[in-house]
Amino acid sequence: MTVPLEKVSEAARVAEPGEGISVDELRLASRNHAMPMEMLREDVTPVGLHYVLAHYDLPAVDRDTWTLAIGGCVRTPVTVGFEELTSMPARTVRVTLECAGNGRATLSPRPVSQPWLNGAVGTADWTGVPLNDLLERAAPTDDAVDVVFAGADHGFERGVEQDYERGLSMADATSGDLLVAYAMNGEPLPVQHGYPVRLVVPGWYGMAHVKWLQTVTVIDGPFEGYQNKAYRLRQQADEVGVPVTRMEPRALLMPPGHPDFMTRDRIARPGPVTLRGRAWSGWAPVERVEVSTDDGTTWTDARLEADAGRWAWREFSAAWDALPGEHRLRVRAHDAGGRVQGDVPAWSRGGFANNGDQPVTLYVLDE
Q: Kindly report the CA angle at 122 between 177 and 62, in degrees rounded to 5?
A: 75
CB nearer to a second copy: give 100 or 112: 112
> Least distance from C-beta 142 to a second copy, angstroms?
37
Q: Closest Cα partner for 17 from 117, 103, 109? A: 109
d(CA 334, CA 228): 28
> Least distance from C-beta 161 to a second copy, angstroms?
8
CB nearer to a second copy: give 104 or 314: 104
Yes or no: say if 170 and 176 are a contact pair by the CB < 8 Å rule: no
> Least distance from C-beta 46 to a second copy, angstroms?
5
How many CB atoms are closer than 10 A to CB 46? 12
Burial 226-261 (b: 16+ CB within 10 A, else e): bbbebbbbeeeeeeebeebbbbbbbbbbbbbbeeee
CB nearer to a second copy: give 208 or 362: 362
CB nearer to a second copy: give 58 or 253: 58
> Least distance from C-beta 127 to a second copy, angstroms?
18
Helical spans, DSSP H, in 77-162? 82-87, 131-138
CB nearer to a second copy: give 129 or 364: 364
> Least distance from C-beta 274 to a second copy, angstroms?
15
178, 182, 184, 189: CA torsion to nearest 10: 130
d(CA 221, CA 53): 29
